[in-house]
Amino acid sequence: MKIIIAIDIIEGQCVRLTKGDYSTKKTYFKDPVEVAKRLEDSGIQYLHLVDLDGAKASKIINYPVLEKIANQTNLYIDFGGGLKSNEDAKIAFASGAKQITGGSIAVKNPDVFKSWLAQYGSDKIILGADCKDRKIATHGWLETSELEVIDFIQKYKEEGVKHVICTDIAKDGMLQGASEELYKNILQGTDIQLIASGGVSSLEDLKRLREINCAGAIVGKAYYEGRISLEELSAFQA
């Protein structure tokens, strides 16, 4: 199981939110590039970089941060937040993203999302299936749709999606454990590459996610709050 560290960006700084609420913003580091270098030096290979300004604005904004991290590290970066157009996708890849995540776009403009799958290939595109009470949420989690998360993922699997990041918003930033039952339900009878996101607080949480065959797990606040060290995370994925 891949261990993927999250760096969320607002105004160029490394922050974390709780349950996606922008009013809960806590700034951890002013320079995300230094954070990324620290990750790489500790043996971490994968980075989940989220443009929270972009998610709110519905267009890519913090691509200069992506470009700096890509140029100064060898981290494998997936990038999301505000990718709503072909131009946004083009900018993200040109700035160094190895994969891009589309969430709101897959709900609001599925033809564009499907065109990304066709143009870049399914290994480059991640479906963002963020949910609240098992209903898909969009626009930086500021809106909730009536789409049921498992149906949503299955629909896009039929379109060729292989990789999915699923965040249970109720768990995000709470450090109370991941949504294991939800992930078990999603993974039942499918070979989708599921990346769990939200709530990871300990190595035990990661072990349980690995046991249910998640392909990856995103760690954010647990690292920033000192619950799990980079050395422990690096050793876990070894």
Query: Which positions are catalytic?
Result: 8, 130
- Residue with the two structure tokens 């000192």: 226
Segments of 96-238 assigned E as strands: 99-102, 125-128, 131-132, 135-138, 143-148, 163-167, 193-197, 216-219
Buried b / exposed e along 102-117 (16+ C-beta atoms within 10 A): bbbbbbeeeebbbebb
Distance CA 6, CA 44 (A): 11
Distance CA 129, CA 235 (A): 28
